[in-house]
Chains A and B, each alone.
Chain A
């Protein structure tokens, strides 16, 4: 074949490639424009937010038509969502078995770490309690829930919604929380990969994670909420009003003393 013939063959091959590329590129531009602009915005999880906190926000968004009294954002949720071994697997609403008291028990997760109630210890009289913050956070303000605003009657507003009461023990002469930061990543790994484990492997990991955990609810109320309770509320910075409320177990009494607590007629409107 002559040089001229080779050259034309080359030009035809190039032409075929150019036409194909032009068709693909034109089609992509034409239709991707339409797809792109018709794509609905999906509310994405902010990078800084944990998955657990995001899921809770989504749930609240879906339920907003069902809750007349919308409340403030749960500021402690995100801070602890991936910084507490228990919460990573069990969420901040783990209590669901006791139908009457589950909501009351769940509210504690805002103020105390899980092992405050669930620590497996035979002698709890030697336990000490203190505040713990999520790793990397050192809030300067008083923890939320430690004082009552006399004007409004609700908790005093504070910027610290993350500090929680936690049991402490002596390690090398210093008091340290029972919580272990190493366990956070183990729990995150377990949740990410649990579908790849066999049942036996799962059980083994779960048993190892819960070796210091005691599954108890409710019956421990009076160990903290009484005048001789093991948590020294005043020493932890609670004001007198709040300390009194907590020692008298303002809510728990309704549940422990009576099967059903009836409102007196006194408050009924005419």
Chain B
């Protein structure tokens, strides 16, 4: 054996000479072998293991001044055979540290703090459980301890070097600057992935008996806006460590432990840290920031989601049915050609005798009149046009910038956010549009209230001309559907706002209220949680509904509203009412006959029946 040791020594000398150069932190010249990227072999169970050590990376790291056997202390031979895992809590013989502090350097205190946490190994842990618990290296990889790229090191180091000329000061700088930046050096998504390697691994959870909220911590976190921002590259938001670890990082405790940073008593202070929610009060503790949709763990969220899905299904079902039947009937009755500009009035072949009031004497009058594509009759005031235009722009922009966050797992969403300039730009666009959207809603309410007040003052107010739902609308719906099915020869005579528009308007009132309120909950959580009733339940329900409601609103507008206004046969490709405020005669007579009648009596519109029956209409050949 002695011979081998002596021979080994001589060989080692020979190797060092032949190698010529060894790194400062590698006196044993381990990189002789370990500098090769493909230094990999198989374990007994066939797993490929990587033995590569990037010399430059190691040298630049906080551990770069340590030799390999300082940590891998049980390696004595080559090939190494089975070696123990490195114990980070062992004493390091750092002379400089000892000279400064008079003690040996060790990570033992950190290791002890960690072992007291929920993740640490406990004396009463079963061996198989203890073996599965994470050690230091599970989270801390050496490449995290290199000089931060976002701080110009030379500039900062120059200041240090004014006084500190000692060898090794750069290592201390790395250590300190690394610690000063944030709680962790890992990118936030890596932190989530690291936690997910246990907290989202069902097989692992079954083995260690992890259950309850802690077993779903990652999946419920992924439902939050915090995670979605991270997913799109944002950084100014919370990840696991932000909330679950205090400044000392390693003492993560279960939420029921009074020492825990997420214990209800401490939660609001945690929300306040790092400038996240400086105004967070005690009320925020009542809200669970993880959105669990499980019927047992988050019953209110589960119920809200089921209701929203039901509402969405039945709304879409009703609208698709109406759209399908209306399309069929319009084509079947040849009410109009599909393209609006190809439409020509039909010839009136069997005209009734002209006697008395001619209004309403000609069935399906809209088929026999011509129209101005820009609109013939007044319908909307300038205020409503401005309202509609602002609503269309801001809602579209909010949808465009919000949908990617809703479909946060879609690759397309990520490409789109990148196209917009990143998540921070997208959020800014979304918020600006949401603010204008909300102000526009307030403007509309003011227009409506002042308009009604003026009409009341003038004695011209007529509830039938408003969006207020009346029993007649139900009857109109019934009769109109009978017309679509072929049981009626003409559509019912409807008011300025027919049943479809009232349905749409009511839905819009609901949608705007929910989107505004829920948007405020997302934007100002610390403020909103104090004032909304039943915050413990309603706050998370509203947060969930922001996305769900906007999807429903988007589908209703993209499919139903656009169909009725611009896509239905005879309306395609566009009606200009939204811009001119005037409605074409054929449309007014077909769907708002009572308003047409009123306008004729008020002298705003000409009586089309009279013109037709007298043969004066230029539309009749």
CA distance in complex: A101, B313 (Å): 65
A72-B57 contact given A14-B328, A65-B197, A250-B15, CB 8 Å threshold: yes
B38, B75, B332, B411: which has the most chain A beta carbons within 10 Å?
B38
A107-B38 contact given A11-B486, A30-B313, CB 8 Å threshold: yes
A19-B321 contact given A8-B485, A14-B328, A150-B21, CB 8 Å threshold: yes
Binary CB contact string for chain A from 168 to 190 against chain B (1 if under 8 A, 0 otherwise): 00000000000000000000000
Binary CB contact string for chain A from 203 to 243 against chain B (1 if under 8 A, 0 otherwise): 00000000000000000000000000000000000000100
Distance in Å from the Cβ of B158 to the closest Cβ of chain A? 21
Interface of B is mostly: helix
Q: Which of the residues A38, A155, A260 comes within 8 Å of B35, measured between beta carbons?
A: A155
A106 contacts B by Cβ under 8 Å: yes
Which residues of A in the span 6-22 have a Cβ within 8 Å of any Cβ on B?
A: 7-8, 10-12, 14-15, 17-19, 21-22
Q: Which of the residues A65, A248, A263, A270 comes within 8 Å of B8, measured between beta carbons?
A: A263
Hey, which chain A residues are within 8 Å of B600, CB to CB? none
Establish whether residues B76 and A100, one from each chain, have CB atoms under 8 Å apart when the complex forms. no
**Whose C-beta in chain B lies nearest to the C-beta of A152?**
B56
A136 contacts B by Cβ under 8 Å: no
B419 contacts A by Cβ under 8 Å: no
A68-B54 contact given A262-B77, A263-B28, CB 8 Å threshold: no
Q: Which of the residues A10, A103, A245, A265 comes within 8 Å of B51, measured between beta carbons?
A: A103
CA distance in complex: A38, B408 (Å): 9
CA distance in complex: A39, B411 (Å): 11
Establish whether residues B55 and A154, one from each chain, have CB atoms under 8 Å apart when the complex forms. yes
Hey, which chain B residues are within 8 Å of A29, CB to CB? 312, 316, 555
Distance in Å from the Cβ of B15 to the closest Cβ of chain A? 6
Establish whether residues B313 and A27, one from each chain, have CB atoms under 8 Å apart when the complex forms. yes
Hey, which chain B residues are within 8 Å of A148, CB to CB? 20-21
Hey, which chain B residues are within 8 Å of A60, CB to CB? 50
Which residues of B in the span 22-72 have a Cβ within 8 Å of any Cβ on A?
A: 22-23, 26-28, 31-33, 35-42, 46, 48-59, 67, 69-70
Which residues of B in the span 361-388 have a Cβ within 8 Å of any Cβ on A?
A: none
A34 contacts B by Cβ under 8 Å: yes
A64 contacts B by Cβ under 8 Å: yes
CA distance in complex: A245, B22 (Å): 12
Establish whether residues B11 and A71, one from each chain, have CB atoms under 8 Å apart when the complex forms. no
Distance in Å from the Cβ of A67 to the closest Cβ of chain B? 5
Binary CB contact string for chain B from 401 to 432 against chain A (1 if under 8 A, 0 otherwise): 00000111111000000000000000000000
A160 contacts B by Cβ under 8 Å: no
**Whose C-beta in chain A lies nearest to the C-beta of B231?**
A41
CA distance in complex: A170, B418 (Å): 53
B78 contacts A by Cβ under 8 Å: yes
CA distance in complex: A263, B26 (Å): 13
CA distance in complex: A18, B75 (Å): 76
Establish whether residues A154 and B53, one from each chain, have CB atoms under 8 Å apart when the complex forms. no
Interface of A is mostly: helix
A96 contacts B by Cβ under 8 Å: yes
A163 contacts B by Cβ under 8 Å: no
A127 contacts B by Cβ under 8 Å: no
Distance in Å from the Cβ of A2 to the closest Cβ of chain B? 12
A70 contacts B by Cβ under 8 Å: yes
Binary CB contact string for chain B from 127 to 158 against chain A (1 if under 8 A, 0 otherwise): 00000001001101111000000000000000
B603 contacts A by Cβ under 8 Å: no
Binary CB contact string for chain A from 21 to 45 against chain B (1 if under 8 A, 0 otherwise): 1110111011101101111110010
Establish whether residues B8 and A68, one from each chain, have CB atoms under 8 Å apart when the complex forms. no
Hey, which chain A residues are within 8 Å of B329, CB to CB? 11
CA distance in complex: A263, B69 (Å): 10
Establish whether residues A69 and B11, one from each chain, have CB atoms under 8 Å apart when the complex forms. no
Segment among A118-126, A194-202, A251-259 that sits at the interface with chain B: A251-259
A92 contacts B by Cβ under 8 Å: yes
Binary CB contact string for chain B from 71 to 87 against chain A (1 if under 8 A, 0 otherwise): 00001111100000010
Establish whether residues A72 and B54, one from each chain, have CB atoms under 8 Å apart when the complex forms. yes
A59 contacts B by Cβ under 8 Å: yes
B468 contacts A by Cβ under 8 Å: no
Hey, which chain B residues are within 8 Å of A261, CB to CB? 8, 11-12, 77-78
Residues of A within 8 A of B (CB): 7-8, 10-12, 14-15, 17-19, 21-23, 25-27, 29-31, 33-34, 36-41, 44, 59-60, 63-65, 67-72, 74, 92-93, 96, 99-104, 106-110, 148, 150, 152-155, 241, 244-245, 248, 250-251, 253-255, 257-258, 260-270
Given contacts A107-B33, A263-B76, 4 further A-B contacts (CB under 8 A): A8-B487, A18-B325, A257-B11, A258-B4
